[in-house]
Structures are given as structure tokens and as C-alpha cells.
Amino acid sequence: MEFEIFRNRIPKLKKMALPGEDAHRKLAPLIRINELNNLDMSKLTPSQAGVMAIFYPGEDKQTRLVLILRKTYKGVHSNQVGFPGGRIEVEDKDLEETALRETEEEVGIHRNDIEVLKKLTKLYIPPSNFWVQPYLGILHKTPKMIPQETEVEAILEVKLSEFLNDQSMITENLSTYYANNIEVPAYKLNGHVVWGATGMMLSEIRELLLKI
């Protein structure tokens, strides 16, 4: 989709109700659904994080979305695809500021250049014990992105047309540090399998975009 067409549909997007957890569950692995169903949130003290889903015009004038491939490290989300974002810091006034700050640090898009369009449905991630608040944003010019050397292995510029294509939705057998050979619903974007919490958040975004 050309970016000008996408941008002209933003007012409608801002007014739409969120699909919420119903959309999340469409991309949730069965093991995650079972975890969430059995959780007693009153007994947990999760950390807070903010992430940003940013749409922008590519050099070809087509609408694109920023994702990142994280570095390999000893942790839950090692070498996984996600949104720019991270843990809230004491200097952040709220999670929106967290998402903007982390986006600037991880991919080099200045926080003042991002128009935040909408707060999406927050999501709890059991393996890392995080509440994650996603935001939908738009950048009105083609960015020159620079991956953060210590955090980001690669920046993925995903065409909106690829993301909305039904063929991007797949089922994959994966092994993680907490489960072996599990079948998961996922997206195949830029050659990468995108699943778990990121896939669940993308599911809500996809439902919103298909309606406009």
C-alpha cells in the first residue's frame, strides 16, 4: 500500500475500538494460552515495558513497518524478532516515553519524529514476567535507521502488503528454552518467523489495519 493512501486512513484508525485479547489469542501458542488461563496476576510483580510499532514510507513510497532481530544472548528473547522497545527507566514519565526512548536508542529514529497514533492492548509475557504496553506510531518521512550495536542484530523493514498477505501466516514447530518442539502460529516476514508475544501484538495490529 502506498504511504499516502495509508496516511489518509489514519483518522479512521484512531477512532476504532481495539480487538484486544481475542486478537492476541489467534497468534498465541497453546502453551501460552494455558499459562495465561492459569495465572493469578495478584501474586505476580511483573516488570513494565513499552514497545513501538512504527509505520513509515520506504524509498519506494510503499508503507513499511519496523521490526528488529535481537542479538543472541543468555535470555528469554535471544535472537528473536520483536518491536523496538524495552524496560521502563526511572527517567521515563510513562510507558509511551519508554517506547519512544527505546526506539530512538535501538534503531535511531528520533522520538520527536514519531507521531503516536494509538495505545494498543497490553500483554503479559509469562517467560520473562513482563507487562508490555505496545503503541502504534507513524513516521512521515523515510528514516535512516542505525541498529544499536549491543542490542540489535538487524533491522527488518517489512512491507505492509507482505504483512497483510494471508500467505504470511504460518504454523511452525519450534523449540525454546522452556519447551521443545511446540507448534506455534506465526508470521513469516522478511524470511523470519515471528511468533510469541510479538506475533500476538501483530495480530491485533493486523485486525485494525484490515478494517481500514
Structural contact between residues 95 and 184, judged by C-beta atoms closer than 8 angstroms: no
Alpha-carbon gap, residue 31 to 192, rounded angstroms: 21
CA dist list (Å): 5 to 1, 37, 115, 139:
7, 40, 17, 14
C-alpha cell at 63: 508503507
Residue 77's pLDDT is 46
C-alpha cell at 3: 504511504
Structural contact between residues 63 and 160, judged by C-beta atoms closer than 8 angstroms: yes
Residue 35's pLDDT is 76
Other CB atoms closer than 10 Å to residue 34's CB: what's the count?
12
Give the chain's residues under pLDDT 70: 73-78, 175-180
pTM of the model: 0.93
Place of cell 495465561: 36
State the DSSP H helix or E strand holding residue 186, giving kind and residue range, or none if neither: strand 182-189
Residue 32's pLDDT is 80
Name the nearest CA neighbour of 58 among 1, 114, 113.
1
Residue 74's pLDDT is 58
Residue 178's pLDDT is 58
Query: What SS3 class is residue 43?
Result: helix
Residue 78's pLDDT is 57
